[in-house]
Structure 1
Amino acid sequence: MPKPGPRTTYRYTDEFKATAVRLSQVRGVAVQDVAASLAIHPFMLSRWRKQAREGLIVTKGVEVEKEMAAELKELRQIKKDYERLKLEHGLLKKAIAFTSARKATSSRSSSTAKDKRR
């Protein structure tokens, strides 16, 4: 349910929009990561990117800080690594459950075989 009262709308400068668009164009950086780091909605950034393609927002001459671009790339790599580790963790849990189940069934059959020999 929406909050009562007037809606808050933010006005961003053309320089901010151009910088956001340039950051989103850095190779290896996702639009969602840029939007999250700038605390804006990804749809808004996508709209700004479209406006830049149409020439409504001028991005030429806007320099992107190398530290910020490197940080966004690192964030993207960390997210990829995290997803890979989650997948590996899930596989290891399944393998442990499988081997535990095999040990439980194999130990019963080996104890039954010993009882038959006696």
Structure 2
Amino acid sequence: MPKYTQPRKTWQYSNEFKVKAVQLSLIEGIQVQEVANTLDIHPLMLSRWRKEYREGKIVADKRKKLEAENKKLEAENKKLKQELDLLKKWQRFLAEEHQQD
């Protein structure tokens, strides 16, 4: 068995890369081994990514940004609805006051 004198190089893959690799491996007729060989990654790594993807642990960075933006927009929408409701109540109050005069 060969002795390794240099430390092993570890690669850090972005979530975007992982998601694209998983999506490629999910295409019908394409095997995990083929995708792994093409992307120069170990098939077991791709299989682990597939499992993490199914469990929702790997999410594309774009999706995270969209979810954050969606949450922000929902909060803004809620605030605007409350403001509109308050304005409608104020309008009714003024209309009732005007009728009493």
* TM-score bin (small chain): 0.5 to 0.7
Corresponding position of 1:38: 39
Secondary structure at the aligned position of 1:29 is classed as: coil
CA–CA separation in structure 2 for the residues paired with 1:48 and 1:15 = 12
**Structure 1 residues 25, 2: closer, same or farther in 2, change over 3 A?**
farther
CA deviations on 1:52-106 (whole Å, 9 max, x unpaired) are 01100126x89xxxxxxxxxxxxxxxxxxxxxxxxxxxxxxxxxxxxxxxxxxxx
**Structure 1 residues 2, 13: closer, same or farther in 2, change over 3 A?**
farther
CA–CA separation in structure 2 for the residues paired with 1:58 and 1:49 = 11
What are the residue-to-residue correspondences of 1:97-108 with 2, within 5 Å? none
Structure 1 residue identity aligned to 2:13: Y
For normalisation by structure 2, the TM-score amounts to 0.56
For normalisation by structure 1, the TM-score amounts to 0.48
The runs of 4+ residues in structure 1 deviating greater than 2 Å are none
CA–CA separation in structure 1 for the residues paired with 2:28 and 2:49 = 18
Aligned length: 61
CA deviations on 1:1-53 (whole Å, 9 max, x unpaired) are 24212111000000000000000000000000000000000000000000001
Q: 5+ residue gaps in structure 1?
A: 63-118
Structure 2 residue identity aligned to 1:39: D
Are 1:19 and 2:20 matched, yes or no? yes
Q: 5+ residue gaps in structure 2?
A: 64-101
CA RMSD of aligned residues (A): 1.8
Q: What percentage of residue pairs aligned between the two structures are identical?
A: 52
CA–CA separation in structure 2 for the residues paired with 1:2 and 1:16 = 32
